[in-house]
Amino acid sequence: MSTPADQTEAFHQRIDEALHNDQLRRNFRSALTGIMARRAEQFPDDAQLQALRDQARAVRANSLVRQPELLEQLETKLTGNGIQVHWAESPEQANAIIHTILDAAGAKTVVKGKSMVSEETELNHFLERRGIEVIESDLGEYIIQLAEEPPSHIVAPAIHKNRVEVAELFRRFHPEIPYTEDIDTLTQSARQILRNRFANADAGISGVNFAVAETGTLCLVENEGNGRLSTTAPRLHIAITGVEKVVEKLSDVPPLLEILTKSATGQPITTYFNMISRPRQPGELDGPEAVHLVLLDNGRSRIRVDEELLDTLRCIRCGACINHCPVYVQLGGHAYGTVYPGPIGLALEPQRVGIDKVGTLTSACTMCGACGEVCPVRIPLPKLINRLRAEAVDGQRSDAGLPGHGSLRKSGEAVTWRVWRQLYASPRLYRLFTWAATRLRALTPPRLGAWTRYRSAPKPASRPLRELVRQEGFRHE
Amino acid sequence: MSEARERILKRLRANRPAASPAPDAYQKPLGWDRERRIAAFSERMQAVRGEVHRVARDAWTDWLARELPARGLRQVLVGNGAVGDQLAERAPDGIALRRYDQPVEAWKASLFDDVDVAITAARAGLAESGTLVLWPDAAEPRLMSLVPPVHIALLDVGRLHENFAAAIAVENWADGMPTNALLISGPSKTADIEQTLAYGIHGPKQLITLLLD
C-alpha cells in the first residue's frame, strides 16, 4: 500500500528524471512550440473564437445537465439502429464486457483505433493476457506499443520520441525494412506493416469523440484512416467511451468538431470525420456485421454531483491545455504517471483515481492560467486545480465525496497556515510580528530545506515598510 | 450488466446540475456565392494536397480516359451505381474495370493488394473546410474511399454547401442518418513523428476531386 508521502516522493523522482533528460525536453519544446503556433493561426479573429467557445461550452454543459435522459435516448436510438449498448461502472467491467463479446465471436486478433478510455481500463493488457492479439493502428500508438510505453500526450501519444528513436524501434521490430530516419519513409513502412493487419483482423476497437442521442450516431475524428479501417474492415466493431461523451443533437456536432480540430492540432478540419449509425445492412457489401458500444462510468457520475467539479466533464480531449502548459512542456507526459497528463490530468485524475493516490499532481501547476484561456469549452482549469489543492489538505468532511479527501493534510503545515491567518487578520499582531521579524533578522536560518536548494533564503528587511513610510512623514496609511 | 446500467442512471438522476442555457441553434452563414464556394473548396482541398479539377458535366469519363493511363492507374474499382455504369460504357483502353459487386469477405485480400484506384460519387461538398461528404451505400461501399491508394470523387458543383452546419440543416440529416456518413478532407495523413506532416499513412495517398459543372 503506498502512502500519500510515497506518492509525492515517486512523483518528485519522475520529475527529476524528466528534468535531467535533455533530449526529452528538446523533443517536447519543439513539438509544442509548433502546435501552439498552428492553433493560433486557426483563430485570427478573437471575437469569433470567443463566440465559438461560448457555443461549444453551452453544448457540452447542456448535455451534462440532461445526461441521464440523453444516455437513455442514445441507447434507444442505437439499439433501434442495431448497435448493441453495454454499461460498465468500472474498468474491470468494461474489459470483461469487451472480452466476452470478442470471445463469443471467436476473435483472436484486434486492430485498435486510438482510445484514451481504453487506456483508463488498460484494455490491451487485459486482452493480451487472455490470448487476444491487440494491434494499435494509429501511428503514434503503434510506436509506443512497440516501445511498451503509455501515451505521453492524449492527442499525440508518441510526441516524446524523435525520428531517431522511432527509427531504432522499427529496426528492432522490423529488421526486414531498410533502416531510415526519413519521416516519409518511416510512415510508408508503417503503412505496409499495418495493412495486412487491417485486412486480417477479426475485430476492431475504437473510441468515440461524440455520441449523438438524437440520431444514435457515433462520431470519430482522425487523420490517418486507421480509425475508419478499424471500424469498417473487420466483421466486428466495439466502441468504448465515457458516459459524458453524449451530446443532444446532430446540429451540436459542427461547432464541437470545428473547435476540437482547431484547438487540438491547428487544423481547420481533420482528414476524416466518421459518423457510424448502424452495422452492415442487408445488401451492403462491407462494414461490420455487429457494432457494440460500451459506456464507461469510472467515477464520472460521482464527479457530476458537484456543481463546480462538474465542469471537468465538459472536456472534449483536444489537449490544448496540455500544449500550453509551462509545466508539461518541461516534464513531458510520463512524469505525471497518470492516464491523462497536463492541466486536464491535474483536474480529472485526482477526482477519478483519488486524491490519496494522485493528489500530489495538483502541485505541478504555476497558476499561470494559460490552460483556462485556451480551453475550447471554457473549463476553469486553474480554479478546479486550486479547489482540488484545498480538498487535498482540508480537515473537514467534504460534500463532494472525493476519494482521498484531506489525505495530503499535514498537521505542521495546517498549523503554519492557521498562524499566518491570525497574523494577517489582526493589525496589532501583524505590527508586533513585523517589528520582531525585522529586529531579529540576523537570526534567519541560512538553509530552509528544499527551498534553499536552488534559491537563497529570504531575509526580512531591516525595517518594515510601514515604519519607513512614517519616517518619510506620511501619516495616512 | 443491466445492474450497472441501473446504478449509473440512478446516480445521474439523483442530481440535476443547475440548468445551463440551452445552446442556440448553431448556424454560420457566410453568404458565399457559387464561385466563392468553388474557390474556397479548391483552395482548402489543395492546401492539404487534395487535387481538384473542374470538368464539364459530360466530360468526366474523357478526363478519366486521359488521366488514368497517364498516371499508371490500371486496376480501377467502381461501384454498382450510375458512376460505374457510365464508366463501363466507355472504359478506356488498357484499364481493367472492377465492380464492387460482392461482399468484401469474398475478395478482401485482392481489394487491399490489387486495386490502384477507386472512383465514387460524392454526396456533397463543404466549401469552408474543403471537404467531401460521402454517404457510402450498397452501390458504393464504405471501403472504396479508404483502401485503394488513390480515390477519385465526382462532386456536382451545385452540391457545395458553405459548411458542415449548413449541410446538416439544408439536407435535414437528423431525419435519417445512413449506416455511415463521412467527411473527407484530403488524403490520409499523420504528424505522429516529430509533429511533421506525412501523407498517405493508412487511407488513400491521393485524393482527386472532379468538380462537375
The pLDDT score that the predictor gives to residue A477 is 54
CA distance A197 to A206: 15
Look over chain A and give the mean of its residue pLDDT values, rounded to a whole number: 95
Judge whether residue A398 has pLDDT over 80.
Answer: no
CA distance B162 to B125: 8
Q: What is the pLDDT of residues A302-320, one digit of tens each?
A: 999 999 999 999 999 999 9
User: What pLDDT, on the 0 to 100 scale, is given for residue A2?
Assistant: 65
- The pLDDT tens digits of the residues spanning B175-202 come to 999 999 999 999 999 999 999 999 999 9
Closest CA to A137 of A16, A222, A10: A222
Which of A366, A382, A385 has its CA nearest to residue A374?
A382
Positions of CATH 3.40.50.10420 in chain A:
64-298
Closest CB to A156 among B185, B195, B202: B195
Judged by CB atoms closer than 8 Å, whether chains meet at B177 and A162 is answered as no
Residues A334-359 pLDDT 10s:
999 999 999 999 999 999 999 999 99
Cα B160 from chain centroid? 13
Confidence class for position A3, pLDDT limits 50, 70, 90: confident
Q: What is the mean pLDDT of residues A403-415?
A: 92
Give A186's Cβ-side CA count (13 Å radius).
Answer: 28
Of B130, B182, B190, the CB nearest to A187: B190
Report CB contact under 8 Å: B193, A187. Answer: yes
**Is the predicted pLDDT of residue A183 greater than 60, yes or no?**
yes
Rounded to 5 degrees, φ, ψ at A147 are: -80, -5
Nearest to A464 by CA among A433, A434, A426: A434
- Taking contacts as CB-CB distances below 8 angstroms, the residues of chain B near A188 are 200
Whether B107 has its CB under 8 Å from any CB of chain A: the answer is no
Return the C-alpha cell found at A410: 499535514
Helix (H, G, I), strand (E, B) or coil at B211: strand
CA B156 to chain A, closest CA, distance in angstroms equals 20
pLDDT at A130 over 70: yes
Chain A residue numbers touching B105 (CB-CB < 8 A): 235
CA distance A285 to B103: 4
Domains of chain B in sequence order: 31-188+201-212 (3.40.50.10420)
| Assigned C-alpha cell, A272 | 476524416
Name every chain B residue with its beta carbon within 8 A of the beta carbon of A258: 164
| Nearest beta carbon to residue A285 from set B44, B100, B164 | B100
CB contact, 8 Å: B33 with chain A? no
Please give the CATH architecture assigned to the domain spanning A64-298: 3-Layer(aba) Sandwich (3.40)
pLDDT at position B86: 93
B124-126 and B160-161 strand pairing:
parallel
For an interface test with A, give the residue of B2, B13, B20 to mutate (most A CBs within 10 A): B20
Mean pLDDT of A139-155: 96
Q: CB–CB of B143 and A286 under 8 A?
A: yes
CA A106 to each of CA A110, A201, A202, A286: distance values in angstroms, whole numbers, following the listed order: 11, 11, 8, 19
Residues A22-34 as b/e (b if ≥16 CB within 10 A, e otherwise) read: eebbebbeebbeb
Residue B151: band (very low, low, confident or very high) from pLDDT cuts 50, 70, 90? very high
Q: Is B106 on the interface with A (CB under 8 A)?
A: no
d(CA B161, CA B124) in angstroms, rounded, equals: 7
Task: For residue B113, give the C-alpha cell.
Answer: 493488394
What is the nearest CA distance from A326 to chain B, expressed in angstroms? 19
Cα within 13 Å of Cα(B99), Cβ side: 14
Amino acid identity, residue A236? L
CA distance B185 to A222: 11
What are phi and psi for residue B118, nearest 5 degrees? -120, 145
Facing residue for B181 by CB, picked from A255, A275, A305: A275
What does the pLDDT average to over A448-464? 87
Q: What is the DSSP letter of B22?
A: P
Mean pLDDT across A153-171: 95
Coil, helix or strand at residue B121 = strand
- For residue B113, pLDDT beyond 60: yes
Cβ–Cβ under 8 Å, residues A29 and A329: yes
The label of the residue with cell 470545428 reads A258
Chain B residues whose beta carbon lies within 8 Å of the beta carbon of residue A68: 9, 12-13
Query: With an 8 Å Cβ cutoff, is B30 touching chain A?
Result: no
Q: Contact at 8 Å (CB) between A349 and A116?
A: no
Residue of A226, A207, A205, A220 whose CA lies nearest to A273: A220
Which residue in B135, B122, B141, B116 sits closest to B205, CA to CA?
B116
A159: chain B residues, CB-CB within 8 Å:
195
- Nearest-Cα distance to chain B for A269, in Å, is 6
Write the pLDDT tens digit of every residue in A433-453: 999 999 999 888 888 888 888
End-to-end CA distance of chain B: 55
CA A379 to chain centre: 13
Cβ contact A384:A350 at 8 Å: no
Q: Are A65 and B17 inside 8 Å of each other by CB?
A: yes
Q: Which of B23, B177, B189 sits opposite A277 (nearest CB)?
A: B177
- On chain B, the residues whose CB falls within 8 A of the CB of A186 are 193, 198
Enclosing H/E stretch for B125: strand B124-126
CB proximity list for A354: less than 8 A, separation 6 or greater: A402, A403, A404
- Alpha carbon distance A120, A338 (integer Å): 9
Sign of CA pseudo-dihedral A341, A347, A352, A357:
positive
3-state secondary structure chain A: CCCHHHHHHHHHHHHHHHHCCHHHHHHHHHHHHHHHHHHHHHCCCHHHHHHHHHHHHHHHHHHHHCHHHHHHHHHHHHHHHCEEEEEECCHHHHHHHHHHHHHHCCCCEEEECCCHHHHHCCHHHHHHHCCCEEEECCHHHHHHHHCCCCCCCCCCCCCCCCHHHHHHHHHHHCCCCCCCCCHHHHHHHHHHHHHHHHHHCCEEEECCCEEECCCCEEEEEECCCHHHHHHHCCCEEEEEEEHHHEECCHHHHHHHHHHHHHHHHCCCCCCEEEEECCCCCCCCCCCCCEEEEEEECCCHHHHCCCCCHHHHHHCCCCCHHHHCCCCHHHHCCHHHCCCCCHHHHHHHHHHHHCHHHHHHHHHCCCCCCHHHHHCCCCCCHHHHHHHHHHHHHCCCCCCCCCCCCCCCCCHHHHHHHHHHHHHHHCHHHHHHHHHHHHHCHHHCCCCCCCHHHHCCCCCCCCCCHHHHHHHCCCCCC
**pLDDT of B53 strictly over 70:** yes
Is it the case that residue B91 has pLDDT exceeding 80?
no
Interface test with B, best of A259, A269, A277, A302 (most B CBs within 10 A): A269
* pLDDT tens readout for residues A224-255: 999 999 999 999 999 999 999 999 999 999 99
| Residue with grid cell 472525493, as numbered in its chain | A402
Interface mutation vs chain B, best among A63, A223, A252, A313, most B CBs within 10 Å: A223
pLDDT digits (tens, 9 = 90+) for B118-139: 999 999 999 999 999 999 999 9
Q: Does domain A1-42+308-409 have CATH number 1.10.1060?
A: yes
d(CA B163, CA B126): 5
- Distance from the Cα of B125 to chain A's closest Cα (Å) equals 13
**pLDDT average, residue stretch B101-124:** 97
Cα dihedral value A386, A391, A395, A397, nearest 10: 140
Q: Residue B152: its pLDDT value, please?
A: 98
Short-list A311, A217, A284, A198, CA closest to A257: A217
What ipTM, to 2 d.p.? 0.97
Instruction: Find chain B residues with C-beta within 8 A of A295's C-beta.
Output: 8
Q: Say if the Cβ atoms of A87 and B142 lie within 8 Å.
A: no
- In angstroms, the CA B201 to CA A147 distance is 20
Task: Name the segment(s) of chain A with CATH classification 1.10.1060.
Answer: 1-42+308-409
What CA–CA distance (Å, rounded) separates B208 from B201?
17
